[in-house]
Structure formats: structure tokens, C-alpha cells
Amino acid sequence: MTDQAVLVLRLAAPLQSWGGPSRYNRRDTRPEPTKSGVLGLLAAAEGRPREASLTDLLGLRLGVRIDQPGTLLRDYHTVSDHRGLPLPAAKVDAKGTQKKTGPAKYTGVTQRYYLQDAVFTAALRGPAPLLEQLDYAVRHPVFPLSLGRRSCPPTGPVSLGLHPDADLPQVLTDVPWQASAHHRARFRGTEVTVEATVEDPAGDLTVADVPDTYNLKTGTVFGQRTVRHLWITLPTGRKTNEQADDRAGRTDPGHDPFALLGW
């Protein structure tokens, strides 16, 4: 029995948000899942409290394949007190009480960004016993799973299973294309090429998304990791470039009410 394995996850939802360095009133999202977000999902599945150690998870190497990039959504909010009172400031005094805004502020504006209609295949390589535990936890989560934020629950099963003693790029090449049916319908060829990133000490890009803790009291300090980009060609499942539409027996997809939305 090998001592290394790869756990494959399908990360798909109507909305996802993988936070970057932004804080407070503007919360951005990165175009693909972060290591902090993926490890947070695994920690939630195991039922770890926020102050629990992440030491055993930090050594897992992460690879992400963008099966369906989705589109960016901006969620615009205004916040005010229904009693007409000034909003409290973010800062607190020595007693832990929130200070008043000065000058008085009656309306707060926040902007949060999401990826809508995106699908990713994530692969984590590490010790086989640990990944077996994580695979079980994802299938039987203690806490609800979310893709970056609590308001973003995944659709469908998350775990795609374990690959014993496999290499990250090879697993991302072997796992079938996970795009949704309406996204697949846009491609007429027998193959599709998608972007991926793999954690690699010899990579060409440094990413600061490795968490030291999820403890809200102390805050999270993000460490760096090195990744490399690659392109992966996958079969679409079509037998020929001119394969007829199964439902209508023709090459054109017929009426598509979502076409105007770019879906």
C-alpha cells in the first residue's frame, strides 16, 4: 500500500467567492479556489473548531483545474439602522464597545464579489491515511460545507474519490471534464483545453493564500506558496465535431433562452 494519495473534489455552485486580501466594505474574489478556502472546507467537514491547529493540512499540495470559469457578480449593499441612529464604527474602545462614527454616518455601503456558475476540479496530494479521513469527512460533514463563504453551499457531491500514489497533473488530466451540461453544449469539438494551476516549489508564481489559523480572535496571517500554470486537454464526450444534437436530431441546439446571458 502506498503512503501518498490524491483526493479530488468537485467545487460547483451557483455562487462561489474565494477571498483575496480585500477587507471591510469591499470583498473581492479570486478567479479560482484558494488554498485557504479549500482547507477551510476540509476543516469544516471534519468539525474542527476555528482555533484548532491546521498543521497536518498545510502540507497538502493543491492543484486546481478550471472546468467552467463562470462570470463575475458584484453584490451591492446599503446598510442603515431602522431607528434612524448613526451607525457604529468598526473600532471598539477599551471595554470592547463599538465607538460611534465621527462625523455621524447613517448609511454604509458594501460591495461583495462572487463567481457565478463556475465549476472547478481541485486535487490535494498528501499522506494517504489523512486523505482517507478527509474523503470520509467530506462525504459525511460535521459542519455545512461552503465554497468560500457560508452563503455559497456546493451543488452535488463534493468528493470525486481518492487516487492512490498519483501525481497532481496526471490526476487533473485523468478526471473527466466536470462542466455543466449547458456549458458543454457550447463546444462542438471532441476536445477542450482548460487552465490549471499546480502547487510546485519550482513554479513561476507566488500566491499568498496559506492560512496559519481560522481563529477570529487572533485573525489569519497568510503564508506564501509557489504554483505553476499549465493547460490540460480533456475529451468533451462528443464522437465527432459534427455530432448531431441528441434531442432534436440536428446540429444546431435550437432555442436557448439562456444564450442572451452568455451561458
> In the chain, pLDDT over 70 holds for what percent of residues?
88
Q: What is the pLDDT of residues 182-201, one digit of tens each?
A: 999 999 899 999 999 999 99
Q: Per-residue pLDDT tens for 39-60?
A: 999 999 999 999 999 999 999 9
Position 254 pLDDT exceeds 90: no
What residue segments make up the domains of the chain, in order of their start? 4-72+114-261
Alpha helices in the chain (DSSP H): 35-46, 55-58, 128-139, 168-174, 181-184
Question: Which one is the CATH code of 4-72+114-261: 3.30.70.2660, 3.30.70.100, 3.20.10.10, 1.50.10.10?
Answer: 3.30.70.2660
- pLDDT tens digits, 203-250: 999 999 999 999 888 888 899 999 999 999 999 988 875 554 554 454
Long-range pairs, 81-90, Cβ under 8 A, ≥24: 81/106, 90/24
- What is the rounded distance in angstroms from the CA atom of residue 189 to the CA atom of residue 241? 4
Mean pLDDT is highest, among 9-23, 91-105, 246-260, for 9-23
